[in-house]
Each structure stands twice: as structure tokens, then as C-alpha cells.
Amino acid sequence: MRQASDSAAAQVVGNIPDTQSTDSGEILFRPFDTPENAVRQSPRLRRLRHPVFSWLGLRPVFAQHSRAEHGALLRWASGRRSVVEIGVAEGGSACALREAMSHDGVLYLIDPFHLSRIRLLNSLRRAAHSAVKGFGKSRVVWIEDFSRNAIRGWFGQIDLLFIDGDHAESAVLQDWADWSPFVAPNGVVLFHDARVFAGGWPDPSYGPVRAVSQLFREGGSTGWHIVEEVDSLVVVERKA
């Protein structure tokens, strides 16, 4: 049964420009959802947008990030032992984090998966679990709750924190206030959808864009500095 699914997925992927093939699986990068890219995709792939088709292996994982951002995730996660991601969706970014981080580390994935219209099926949750399972060897801890609740009782040090959950400005600032104190010296925090760039999807009104500007571009956070910006991704490092 799985062989049939893999074969179907391969037929769907074809020569899609923004798809990356790995030994573990396929990832389709943003901006797959723009009109320009939609016309380059097969009609069959456009019909398979629901996450149930990713879970069944009939299409690639739809990542919410670009190919360039994927490369940045791999670089910054490399060798890290304690990694936390807030906001998992289909698991595209979690796949990158798990692939690059230390094999004896722990990846904590925080997402309530609360938007499914069929709660018992919850295909988004199933798609994410299936995707992440195929990448890397680190231990994975799923925390199926909102980040504001997951922080209660947290005590472990974090090497890399990826903030990509609720995009309201107040929610991004709350995630920063709650979780950044646990980031180790020389650890990093990555904000997604936090930068306006040519041809990109964020605009100045985006909550993550406004939060990052307030925290780092206007001098609101001491002891931290921006170390890289790639497409919509902004990486800040805690000074030793």
C-alpha cells in the first residue's frame, strides 16, 4: 500500500520547481500558493491541497517557508541539542530542524492542531507526525497545546527557538516574553513571516514584522542582536 502511495506522490511532484527531494521525502516550498507558482503546478497537485493527501503520501509536505529559509533552518539547527518550534502545521520546518540537529537531542513541537474540521481524524496532525517521522533521528516530544499553556512548568534550556505560531503582534510578543528567557547564551531565536522582502508575502502590517521591529530594530531588547535575515526569516542571537 505504501509503495503505491510513494509512486503516486512521485507522479504528482514531477518537475515542480519549488520541490526538494531528499532521502526522507518531498517538501514543496513557498510560494507554492501564489498565482505565478500555481500555474506551474500540475492540476492534480492543486486539487490535493488538503493535508489528508500529505498524510496518505499522495503529495509532498506543503512547507510554509521558502527554499532559502529551509536552508537557513538547516544551518542554524545544525548540531543543536534542544530545539523548540512553536507552530508546526504540516511539519515542513520541523523536518528541517530534526534533519539538522544533533541526533542525541530533543525536538519539542508545540501546536494545538485545533483547526481541524473533523477532530477525530485531524489530518493536519496526522500529516505532521508522518512527515517529521521521516527526517532525522533526534527524540521528538509533541506538545499539543497553545504555547501560552505549554510554557507552564517549562524549565529546560533551549538552544534554538523557532517562533511561528499565532501571528498576532501581541501573540508574537507574548511568545518572545514567555520563551526567550530559556534560550541559552549563544542560542538563537528564529522568527518566521517577520520581514518584508521583494516578491514576498509579508507586509508591514504583519504581526511578526511589527514585533521584530519593536524588539530589535528599534532597540527594545538588550543582550540580543540580529545575525541573519533570509526572505521572511529573522534570526537573533543571545550574546554570551
Q: Give the model confidence (pLDDT) of 98-136 as tens digits.
A: 999 999 999 999 999 866 555 556 777 888 888 888 899
Q: How confident is the model at residue 49 (pLDDT cuts 50, 70, 90)?
A: low
Give pLDDT, residue 22: 42
Q: Please give the grid coordinates belonging to residue 118.
A: 473533523
Q: Rounded to whole angstroms, how far apart are CA atoms 176 and 193?
A: 15
Give pLDDT, residue 57: 63
Nearest to 92 by CA among 186, 143, 26, 183: 26
Helix (H) or strand (E) holding 75, with range, is helix 67-77
What domains are defined for the chain?
Answer: 2-64 (no CATH), 68-238 (3.40.50.150)
Over the stretch 167-221, which tens digit does the pLDDT of each residue have?
A: 999 999 999 999 999 999 999 999 999 999 998 889 999 999 999 999 999 877 8
Over the stretch 63-90, which tens digit does the pLDDT of each residue have?
A: 678 889 999 999 999 999 999 999 998 8
3-state per-residue secondary structure call for 126-159: HHHHHHHHCCCCCEEEEECCCHHHHCCCCCCCEE
